[in-house]
Amino acid sequence: MIEDAAHSSEARLLIEGSGPRFPVVYRGLLATSTKVDIALTRLRIATLRLQPGDLDQVRSLRIVLTELTTAAWEVETHRALLNPRREPQLRALIEGIRSGRVEVRSAPLATWAPDFTLFHGVRTAPVALIGPHWLETGPGRRGPRMAFEVTGPDARRLASAYTRIWDDAYDVSPAVGRMLGHTLDALDRLTPSGDPGMVSAPQNWGSLPP
């Protein structure tokens, strides 16, 4: 328990391979949230592995990135193409962007760390997950990854910090939507061998730094 004036914040440590798994906790909070704010220190939109059903209750999903460059998008696209089963996830994100339910901004001058997500609507106050966001499955890396689930005043302070980051960031939702669409087109063109190769950003996907 973290003391904060006359109130207190609760913190729970999540350790990969011990206790509740991060993806289970994350999706459990998503299932009961109406608004979700995500802050990522590097581009990993496709590897968030958000399933269409995960967002059934979410009316607003905001994602802020530290930077969004053409080079980063090419790497992210290649990563997504290595697993064609991610197609429903990409379609869900595209539909969310088109409807306005999903917004993406870039804050290249911001320097927050580590990654964090705020879940609103779970309780009277937001719930925060702070630390590496590992929603992908498969073999783990050497050593456990760790994150914290935080509630109370500290989660509210983090929500205020997110608002400041978001207000200073600029909208890249149209560019992200076009690039996700381009990724889906590439999935449709996969060769029988399943080798997608490297996909370059299309010429009309928006103005981003190199």
With respect to residue 26, please indicate whether it lies within any of the assigned structural domains.
Answer: yes
State pLDDT tens for residues 73-112: 777 777 777 776 777 777 888 888 999 999 999 998 888 8
With respect to residue 126, please indicate whether it lies within any of the assigned structural domains.
Answer: yes
Whether residue 149 is predicted with pLDDT greater than 50 in this model: the reply is yes
CA dihedral 177, 183, 186, 187 (to 10 degrees): -110
Which tokens is 33 given?
């949230």
With respect to residue 93, please indicate whether it lies within any of the assigned structural domains.
Answer: yes
pTM above 0.85, yes or no: no
Q: How many domains does the chain have?
A: 1
Residue 9's pLDDT band (boundaries 50, 70, 90)? confident
Is the preceding peptide bond at 209 cis, omega within 30 degrees of 0?
no
Residue 181 belongs to domain spanning: 9-186
From 48-57, 145-154, 175-184, 199-208, the region with the lowest mean pLDDT: 199-208
With respect to residue 37, please indicate whether it lies within any of the assigned structural domains.
Answer: yes
With respect to residue 210, please indicate whether it lies within any of the assigned structural domains.
Answer: no
Residue 48's pLDDT band (boundaries 50, 70, 90)? low
Give the integer Cα–Cα distance in Å for 5 and 156.
14
What was the pLDDT predicted at 46?
57
What was the pLDDT predicted at 94?
85
Whether residue 6 is predicted with pLDDT greater than 80 in this model: the reply is no
Query: Higher pLDDT residue, 119 or 14?
Result: 119
Whether residue 49 is predicted with pLDDT greater than 60 in this model: the reply is yes
CATH of the domain at 150: 3.30.870.10
Average pLDDT, the chain: 78
With respect to residue 201, please indicate whether it lies within any of the assigned structural domains.
Answer: no
With respect to residue 25, please indicate whether it lies within any of the assigned structural domains.
Answer: yes
With respect to residue 120, please indicate whether it lies within any of the assigned structural domains.
Answer: yes
Indicate the burial class of 116 (C-beta count within 10 angstroms; 0-12, 13-18, 19 or more): buried
What was the pLDDT predicted at 148?
92
Token pair 């994150």: residue: 147
From 96-100, 118-122, 187-191, the region with the lowest mean pLDDT: 187-191
